[in-house]
Amino acid sequence: MNLFSCKLELTPKYHDLKNWNEDTQKVFGEHAKYLETALQNQVALFVGRTDDTPAKNYGLFLIQAESLQAAENFATQDPVIKNGIMTVTVQPFRLLRTADDLKKYNVW
């Protein structure tokens, strides 16, 4: 297995919160479920996002996949991508080091 980073960014339309509605919130709920399932199945190793304005925010998750194509296939099935709310950039990732304990950080 190989590691891949997936960076999610809002499309420009969703930089303005006036464009968010009930359907947008529903898709984000599906997105959360999609990534939770990926974590449970150990496809995703971590999931997170920045905490800034919508225009500057981005999500990031690290996945395991056999190939770049497989990683891209997984990432593009995310409901926020399929519904045009976010775009995704998938790149090979090389893990160099990890902290012994990440649990001290608040989780979403």
Output 106 or 48, whichever has higher pLDDT.
48
**Which strands sit side by side in the sheet containing 86-92, from one edge to the other?**
44-49, 58-65, 2-10, 86-92
The rounded distance, in Å, linking the Cα atoms of 105 and 80 is 26
Tens digits of residue pLDDT in 7-56 = 999 999 999 999 999 999 999 999 999 999 999 999 999 999 999 988 99
55 occurs within a structural domain: yes
Has residue 108 got a pLDDT over 60?
no
Q: Are 73 and 85 in contact (CB under 8 A)?
A: no
Domain count, the chain: 1
Q: Is 21 exposed, middle or buried (0-12, 13-18, 19+ CB in 10 A)?
A: exposed
95: pLDDT confidence band, cut at 50, 70 and 90?
A: confident
96: pLDDT confidence band, cut at 50, 70 and 90?
A: confident
105 occurs within a structural domain: no
- Domain with 25 in it: what CATH number? 3.30.70.1060
One-letter identity of residue 84: G
Write out the residue range of the structural domain in which residue 74 sits. Answer: 2-92
Averaged pLDDT for residues 55-61: 94
